[in-house]
Structure 1
Amino acid sequence: MHTTKEAAAALNISPTTLGKYVIALEGAGFRFESGKRNVRMFDEKEMATLRQMIETAASEDLPPGQAANMIGQTAYLSLIEDRLSAIEQRQEHLIHLYDNLSSQLARLPAHHIPDYSPPSFFLLPRRKAGFLNFLSK
């Protein structure tokens, strides 16, 4: 974890500029951890995001806010793609399980498949309760 001064020195920018970049990234949806006394602390992942923002702003000649939004959109689309991929993998797994179960059920002899009949208490007539019982007399 890096303090604001350490992070600014590692990124070759001033702490004030780092603060502006952090505010721009927070506006784009990124969250930075705070240590004791509400002091911002930066881990390696956050440092990489800040480096990416600085490089994007320099290469595209964008102000920090627009560079942050561009990085935020890219990160959001990447997250959606990852989640869709995970859903597709789960779906394939479920289809595989369903196919296996169907083939196992098809191989079972008919006399091994139990006949379901509801429990006897479902078949008993229901008694009328309270006021309805009084009215039916």
Structure 2
Amino acid sequence: MHTTKEAAAALDISPSTLSKYVMALEGAGFRFETGKRNARLFDENEMATLRQMIDTAAAQNIPPGQAANAIGQNAYLSLIEERLSAIEQRQDHLMHLYEDLSSKLARLPVHHIPDYSPPSFLFLPRRKAGFLSFLSK
């Protein structure tokens, strides 16, 4: 974890510029960890995001806020793609389990599959308890 001064030195910018960049990224939906007295702390992923924002702003000659929005949109889209991919993988796994179970059930002899009928006590009339039984008399 890097403090604001360490992160600014590593990115070769001033701490006040770093604060502006961080505010732009927070406006785009990013969240940074804070330490004692709400001082921001930066891990390697956050440092990479800041470098990407600085490089995008310089390469496209746009303000940092627009670069932060572009990075935020790309991060959001990649997150959605990752989640969709995970859902598709789970769906494939469930379909495989279903097909496996179906084939196993199809191989069972019919006389081994029990005929389920609910227990008879489920159909007994329920007694009215307490005050309700008094009212029904």
1:97-112 aligned within 5 A: 97-112=97-112
Gaps of 5+ in 1: none
Gaps of 5+ in 2: none
2:3 is the counterpart of 1:3: yes
Partner of 1:127: 127
Partner of 1:47: 47
Partner of 1:86: 86
| RMSD between aligned residues | 1.4
Aligned-partner SS, 1:30: coil
- 1:36-62 C-alpha deviation (Å, 9 max, x unpaired): 221111110000000000001111111
Query: What TM-score results when the alignment is normalised by the length of structure 2?
Result: 0.93
- The CA distance in 2 between the partners of 1:42 and 1:130, in whole Å, is 65
Identity %: 82
Partner of 1:33: 33
Work out the number of aligned pairs and report it.
Answer: 137
Query: What TM-score results when the alignment is normalised by the length of structure 1?
Result: 0.93
- The CA distance in 1 between the partners of 2:131 and 2:12, in whole Å, is 82
Aligned-partner SS, 1:91: helix
- The CA distance in 2 between the partners of 1:129 and 1:6, in whole Å, is 73
Shift of residue 115, structure 1, vs aligned partner: 1.1
- The CA distance in 2 between the partners of 1:43 and 1:132, in whole Å, is 66
